Structure 1
């Protein structure tokens, strides 16, 4: 079992109380520091570097496990206030951004060479500020220190705002599950009390098409996700729950961690939740009226367009073609068949965090012009 200091740490929650307590503790144990970019000093931290065995050079909060884990992953440390901290992989891109470095060759460099290059570039920007996040014994983020570039939105405050809104406006809503790792946090709620209002038209349409058994299992829900180690927005997405895997049907609202945004901005956007959910359901329902001549080809082209994992996609496409047996299909049929990709990946042990991101990406299919993908010509993939 991984420890919180390790880069691959993740945890799940079956109760809202446990998840809120976790994030309240995370906030208490997080230290945000603004510092001039040219004062940042990076050092190699692989197993061959002198720093690896010099534990006295690290801050008191840094354990040997955190040092060893970093040596096996990013292999860099950063000095703040005279003491070193291991750098978590979630902070790597931000650190490169502060140095205005990029390119596919950088990861191939030895850690000593990479650290030297980063330091040389950091020294070029004496007037720039960095906002560093120290959490779980490591530098977990390296954001721009300009308040217009990055705004700290506390995870526990965001979740409290959402919970209060759901309790007030959506009686009967139920927390279903939560997930957190060092990169992002995710939580889902069932909107049991609003099922009839939200799914009425969609359910009638599917029943008229003889597919009532599918929708009878589904319940509307929402997914909250955010990150304070990356540039992901604090967002809420619409979902349908009750099937083999949650079905994402599009984003509802999003607040960027930028331009001095606050939790109050997030609370204001929540007022649009019901209307935006209705729009997402309408887009899904519209797919039932899009009839396809070449559903297998359409599904292949859509999956390729969205850059979904090829092996799992082709397996799901083959299953869909076999189930169809040459019968007609709609865009809705294809979109539902695409959900099998996530089930296949989950069965194969794909990390939950990656599954969540893939599901969000898959929902982009609802906004595509399906006729452009319904072609007789075979697809090369």
Structure 2
């Protein structure tokens, strides 16, 4: 059921992925309203929203009560608020903080309304699958609408033309984000990885394959981003995000098009960033791994499993942060065995990628550290 806030869909066929994007684009609507004219209400059993095509209003209300518990009114219509819109609505009201999540819905609605009364300018609202999914800035200098089908059409065109072999691997979508991944094979991928590895006195022999993921959002959760991973001799290494194109200055899609023309250069930049970890020497690798994974927000169970796997293969010998990072990347294969869904794996990949820029030296400490 697309209207549900916890909706998510996985695609194995590229044609099905593009059909979904086109269908959503046709059903969705953008509209603007003065921010000071927006009014937020807590949803009750007596709440009524404006009529919607082919979605039962009672089903919408029931799902909203389970999630955001809010509805938003403009001078022209009343709409239930999707959970994906709560963060952007707080942004328009210029308020934030963990305490807001602990308030009852009536109090939260009151605070939002008081703040919206003094807001200036217009808000841009995205209405999709029966609810408002985002409340963004109505100024195109702050947020420019990027057509999702167009973004992925551009991405696919460059990927298939720039690499020797490219194949659609998977796609997934929910109300926050859309992701699509292509598997790549190209001699240049091997050569550039070997060249960069050689600068640090390291070599590898064997097969290298890569994948590139394009992620974007039309609710303000993300720009249009490129995310790389490689597999080297069965070692899965997450290179992370190398490009972020923001929805700003009326040029979102235009900027993305220009940047996709350099997609191979972004691969080299991603490899270079990870390989810089070779310059960081760590005397207590297991402890550093625990500290880095803790900071990145991994669960105690996953940290324990990953560290024990690393210890079993590498022991406690001092090494570079690059070797430890490769060990952290093993968390993906651990989680795959637990039948985690595609969306969960993608979120985990982003956590792993965030480990690259941690303060490794500060976490290289002796003694016993608890998970």
TM-score by length of 1: 0.86
Separation of aligned partners in 2, 1:365 and 1:109:
33
Distance in 1 of aligned mates of 2:361 and 2:341: 33
What's the RMSD between the two structures over aligned residues?
A: 2.8
Match of 2:51 among 42, 56, 59: 59
Query: Pick from 105, 125, 130: which aligns with 1:132?
Result: 125
Aligned 8 A contact 2:284 2:316 in 1:
no
Q: How far apart are the structure 2 equivalents of 1:203 and 1:32?
A: 47
Aligned residues of 1:87 and 1:139 also touching (Cα < 8 A): yes
Deviation string for 1:137-179 (max 9, x for gaps)? 1100000111111111111111111111122222321111111
Name the CA distance, whole Å, in 2 between partners of 1:108 and 1:276: 41
Where 1:90 maps in the other structure, the secondary structure is helix
Q: Which residue of 2 aligns with 1:111?
A: 105
Counterpart for residue 65 of structure 2: 71
* Of 69, 72, 94, the match for 1:100: 94
Alignment check: 8 A CA contact 2:10 2:342 kept:
no
**1:267 paired to 2:265:** no
Paired position in structure 2 for 1:24: 22
In the alignment, the residues of structure 2 paired with residue 364 and residue 192 of structure 1 have an alpha-carbon distance, to the nearest angstrom, of: 25
Q: 1:50 aligns with which of 24, 43, 46?
A: 46
TM-score (norm 2): 0.88
Inter-CA distance 102–34: structure 2 relative to 1 (3 Å threshold): same
| SS in structure 1 of the partner of residue 186 of structure 2 | helix
Partner of 1:157: 150
Counterparts of 2:13 and 2:164, CA distance in 1? 17
- Tell me the distance in 1 between the aligned counterparts of 2:234 and 2:59: 38
Contact 2:229 2:237 in 1 (8 A): yes
Structure 1, unaligned stretches of length 5 or more? none
Relative distance call for 1:245 and 1:347 in structure 2 (3 A) is farther
**Aligned-pair CA distance for 1:40:** 1.4
Q: Distance in 2 between matches of 1:245 and 1:227?
A: 30
How far the C-alpha of 1:131 sits from its partner, in A, is 0.2
CA contact (8 A) 1:238 1:280 kept: yes
- State how far apart, in whole Å, the 2-side matches of 1:249 and 1:105 are: 35
Instruction: Quote the offset at 1:45 in angstroms.
Output: 1.4
Runs (4+) off by over 6 Å:
202-209, 242-245
Kept after mapping to 1: 8 A contact 2:176/2:221: no
- 1:96-150 Cα offsets, whole Å, 9 max, x none, are 222223333323332223223322322223x421000000111000001111111
2:98 partner SS: coil
1:322 to 292, 302, 312: 312
SS of corresponding position for 1:113: helix
Aligned to 1:305: 295
Alignment match, 2:214: 224
Partner secondary structure for residue 105 of structure 1: helix
Tell me how far 1:22 sits from its aligned partner: 0.8
Number of residue equivalences: 368
SS of the aligned residue for 1:133 comes to strand
How far did residue 233 of structure 1 move? Answer: 1.7
C-alpha displacement at 1:222, in angstroms? Answer: 1.0
**Cα contact 2:286–2:316 (8 A) shared by 1:** no
Give the distance between the partners of 1:117 and 1:285, measured in 2 at CA. Answer: 48
* Residues 218-227 or 186-195, more deviating: 186-195
- Partner SS for 1:50: coil
Partner of 1:166: 159
Q: How big is the shift at 1:189?
A: 1.1
| Contact in 2 for aligned 1:244/1:343 (Cα 8 Å) | no
Maintained 8 Å contact 2:88/2:135: yes
Indicate conservation of the 8 Å contact 1:253/1:273, yes or no: no
Q: Which SS does the other structure have where 1:258 is aligned? A: coil
- Matches for 1:129-278 after TM superposition, within 5 Å: 129-194=122-187, 195-201=189-195, 212=205, 216=207, 218-241=208-231, 247-278=237-268
Offset from partner CA, 1:246-288 (integer Å, 9 cap, x none): 6321322211112222311111112332122113223444545
Match of 1:282 in 2: 272
* Range moving further from structure 2, 266-275 or 25-34: 266-275
Q: 1:69 to 1:245 in 2, by over 3 A?
A: farther
